[in-house]
Amino acid sequence: MTEKKKAILKDDILRALIAGESSPHKMADSKKLDSKVVKYLCEELADEKLVELINVTTKDSGPTHDYLLRQTNKTTYFLSIDGGFIGRHNSNKWQRRWTIIKVIVAVINALTILAIGFYSVYLSDKTDKLEKENEQLKKEIQKKDK
């Protein structure tokens, strides 16, 4: 599962929870996903304190390894103000792009500085050669004049 798809699914789970759906199985059925994937994502959401997991127990058998979801105060505001997981994903993507662009610009800048340095050495060498030729020509002219 790609990071973008995971972000979209997490946002969908939070939206379904805000809409009143508290069962991961029903969320999985409505999205036509494996319920294990939805439960896994719900547990990740619980680790981030965006949902609370309420264990389901029965009178006869005790805990059933199943749970219901309950939203926290952070849930609604995370989606509406922070943009949810897809907003976080897009922000991280642009941050990575910006970092790559900065590195490329720094490399181009370094290469430009090196090119200017080599060119100045080349021009300095050429200037020295021209000055030596000029001196030789002056000497030859002075010899001819005498």
E strand map for 8-143: 51-58, 62-71
Q: What is the pLDDT along the chain (146 residues), one digit of tens a residue?
A: 889 999 999 999 999 888 888 888 888 888 888 888 888 899 999 999 999 888 877 666 666 667 888 888 888 888 888 889 999 999 999 999 999 999 999 999 999 999 999 999 999 999 989 999 999 888 888 888 76
Dihedral angle sign, alpha carbons of residues 19, 25, 27, 29: negative
Is pTM beyond 0.85? Reply is no
